[in-house]
Amino acid sequence: NAGVMQNPRHLVRRRGQEARLRCSPMKGHSHVYWYRQLPEEGLKFMVYLQKENIIDESGMPKERFSAEFPKEGPSILRIQQVVRGDSAAYFCASSPLGGSAEAFFGQGTRLTVV
């Protein structure tokens, strides 16, 4: 049973470009969480999704950021028109249930905006 898979592991984008980060949850997991880790900081919750539904997006910046978790395929975190301040590590976690059942984390995508 493969773990949570995130790709790419490293992503470099120029200011103004779009970044797409993918997360394939563990088999059988239908709950996905995205977190952002800025340099020298802890992880901050961004969004919680179930298949085809956004459950809680209270941590998402109001502009340029969006997330989806389609019926088929991975969850996508999309950042439009990236700026230097978007440089961070983005982690995805998946869980078989909602709530605080143990969530398993992927290895993250490290986004660098140049």
- Of the residues 12, 16, 70, 97, which one makes contact with other proteins according to CB under 8 A: 97
Considering the rule CB under 8 A, would residue 114 count as an interface residue with other proteins? no
**How many of the other CB atoms lie within 10 Å of CB of 30?**
16
Considering the rule CB under 8 A, would residue 69 count as an interface residue with other proteins? no
Rounded to a whole number of angstroms, the minimum distance from the CB of residue 72 to other proteins is 24
CA distances in angstroms from 46 to 2, 73, 90, listed in the order given: 24, 20, 10
Residues 42 and 53: their CA atoms lie apart, in Å, by 26
Contacts of other proteins in 16-35 (CB under 8 A): 31, 33, 35
Considering the rule CB under 8 A, would residue 36 count as an interface residue with other proteins? no
Considering the rule CB under 8 A, would residue 96 count as an interface residue with other proteins? no
The amino acid present at 108, given as its one-letter code, is G
**How many of the other CB atoms lie within 10 Å of CB of 66?**
15
Rounded to a whole number of angstroms, the minimum distance from the CB of residue 63 to other proteins is 21
